[in-house]
Amino acid sequence: MLAVDQLSVFHGPIEAVHGISFNVAAGQCVSLLGPNGAGKTSTISAITGVVRATGRIEVDGEIMSDQPVESRILKGVSVAPEGRRVFANLSVEDNLKLGGAIVQNKANIRSDIAHWLQTFPVLGERRAQLAGTLSGGEQQMLAIARALMSRPKILLLDEPSLGLAPKIVAQIFDIIRHLKNEGMTILLVEQNATQALKLSDYSYLLNNGKIVAEGSAEKLGQSNELMAELTGIA
């Protein structure tokens, strides 16, 4: 489904990611793990097309790397960005409407909004409320629902657990598990490795802009190397 080959990402003159390659098969949940500054968000941003990058990004065999953000969304890439980035002064409903704005016709948008408000009943109760007044967990749900409004082939989740209480983190991971069970292809970026590993079919460990380890949850979970990379404790 998603194939990334020799991807390098630049922030101005600085190269944040150095020629990494990885794959996500259809229906899988794959995670990119690693400490702060490893290049996880840079990788996500390169896939969505908001930063300068070299290398090859393919979705369903179609090359994305040379296309602008809008056409990548049209072709099935959608992201719930780091820090949620909901539109604080728009209502929950308008946030969702925006998620579908460039992809869907009006009728589909209406039925999709109804569908997601049903899936996330907390959002349903708050549909007319301004997104800025939601709690962190609710904003994260909204960010995920907004990303799903474009009916993506692959959903990119950037640090969905960031800054949330443990109980809420568990809820968010339940949602991700639910989406996976429904057949959604997911690329998950996380610092919270324990939770992410449990959920993922396959994981890549990123450090200093390079992939330093990869494998299934079982393999990586037992590796001391991984724990050392993530915690800094050898």
Partner 1 sequence: MTRGLYGVALISIVLIAIGVATTYFGSRYHLRLVYGAYVNLLVVLGLQVFMGNARITNLSHSAFMGIGAYVAAICVTPETVKAISLPQAPWGLNAFSLDPISSALIAIAITAIIAALIGLIIVRLTAIGATIVSLAVLVIVHSVFLFRTDIFKGNQAFFGIPQVFSLTSIVILSVAVVFIARMFRESKWGVQLRASADDELGAQASGVNIHQVRLIAWILSGILLSIAGIAYAFYLGTISARPFYFNHVFLTLAMLILGGMRTVTGAVLGTLIISFGLESVRWIETGPVVLGIDLPEVLGLSGVVLGAVIVLTMAFRPEGIMGDREVEDLLLKP
Residues forming contacts to partner 1 in the complex (CB under 8 A) are: 48, 50, 69-70, 73-74, 79, 81, 85-90, 94-95, 97-99, 101-103, 128-130, 146, 150
Q: How far is the CB of 232 from partner 1 (least distance, A)?
A: 29
Q: How far is the CB of 16 from partner 1 (least distance, A)?
A: 16
Nearer to partner 1, 97 or 193 (CB): 97
* Two structure tokens written together for 49: 């097309």
Q: How far is the CB of 233 from partner 1 (least distance, A)?
A: 34
Distance in angstroms (rounded) separating the CA atoms of residues 84 and 75: 22
Q: What is the largest CA-CA distance in the chain?
A: 55
Nearer to partner 1, 72 or 180 (CB): 72
Q: How far is the CB of 96 from partner 1 (least distance, A)?
A: 10
Nearer to partner 1, 147 or 172 (CB): 147
CB burial readout 161-192, b (16+ within 10 A) else e: bbebeeebbebbbebbeebbeeebbbbbbbeb
Nearer to partner 1, 99 or 160 (CB): 99
* 162 contacts: CB under 8 Å, gap ≥ 6: 82, 83, 191
Nearer to partner 1, 25 or 102 (CB): 102
* 212 contacts: CB under 8 Å, gap ≥ 6: 205, 206, 225, 229
Nearer to partner 1, 150 or 185 (CB): 150
Q: How far is the CB of 155 from partner 1 (least distance, A)?
A: 12
Distance in angstroms (rounded) separating the CA atoms of residues 44 and 144: 15
* 136 contacts: CB under 8 Å, gap ≥ 6: 84, 163, 164, 168
- Start-to-end Cα distance in the chain: 36
Q: How far is the CB of 69 from partner 1 (least distance, A)?
A: 6
